[in-house]
Amino acid sequence: MRRFLWFPVALLLLGGCAAPIEEQAADKARDEAREIMRRLHGHRVWPATAVRCFELRFSVKNDWDEEPLDADCPPGRPLTFEPWPKTPEIPDEKLDKALPHMPSGGEVDEREVREAVASLGLDPAVHVEIGSKDGVVGVLLRVKPYLSDAFDCTLARVAPGSTSVWSPPRIQRMPGEGGCFLGSALNPLRPPH
């Protein structure tokens, strides 16, 4: 009987302690928030009162970590710059869907390929070349991204029984490497080693 009496008494004690602990935690958090408000109340937020301008010189004769020179600031508001230009996207998947898929033994019509590419409504910055040789039509879509060495480049080859769209490896998309030309679409280069 003593065991059964001890259990309800313990529950009452534990239950009674839980509420004051939560209240104490809430009071402590409220006190800390109040202290932060008091500290910030008298302070005002001021914009920077000093404007500093520096002169930067770029030359092959400069040291790598040369200190910038103080300079007089130009009159008027500080200069602002537009965001970097966006590179137009080449829609590979849309191109693949738009191009004709000829059955084996059929003939590829270059005019039909040109119409399919025109239907994509490409950005004028995308360079487009379309040509044919030996019953195969090749497509080149190329754009030079801002501040990048490699072209964004998509090639397509439409032949009887086979239509394929791909982007050459980066090494072949570098200027002068020969991977981003119409000839690469008509006669694909082997992948680099």
Closest CA to 87 of 139, 141, 138, 137: 141
What does the pLDDT read at residue 21?
A: 85
What does the pLDDT read at residue 110?
A: 94
What does the pLDDT read at residue 131?
A: 95
List alpha helices for 119-187, DSSP H. 182-186
Closest CA to 84 of 147, 144, 142: 147
| pLDDT tens over the chain, length 193 residues | 445 444 454 444 445 555 578 888 778 878 877 777 776 666 666 666 767 787 777 777 766 677 777 888 888 887 788 888 888 999 999 999 999 998 998 899 999 999 999 999 999 999 999 999 999 999 999 998 887 888 899 999 999 999 999 999 888 888 888 788 899 899 886 665 5
What does the pLDDT read at residue 145?
A: 87
What single string gives the DSSP state of each residue in 21-89?
Answer: HHHHHHHHHHHHHHHHHHHHHT----------EEE----TTS-TTPPPEEEPPPSSSPP--PPPPPPPP
pTM for the whole thing?
0.59
Residue with tokens 């770029």: 58
CA distance 103 to 96: 16
Torsion of CA 16, 22, 25, 28, to 10 degrees: -80
Take residue 160 and report the two structure tokens written for it: 């009887």
What does the pLDDT read at residue 12?
A: 47
Query: Is residue 151 within 8 Å of residue 141, measured between CB atoms?
Result: no
What does the pLDDT read at residue 85?
A: 82
What does the pLDDT read at residue 42?
A: 63
What does the pLDDT read at residue 133?
A: 93
What does the pLDDT read at residue 11?
A: 47
What does the pLDDT read at residue 192?
A: 59
What does the pLDDT read at residue 147?
A: 79
Closest CA to 154 of 122, 111, 176: 122
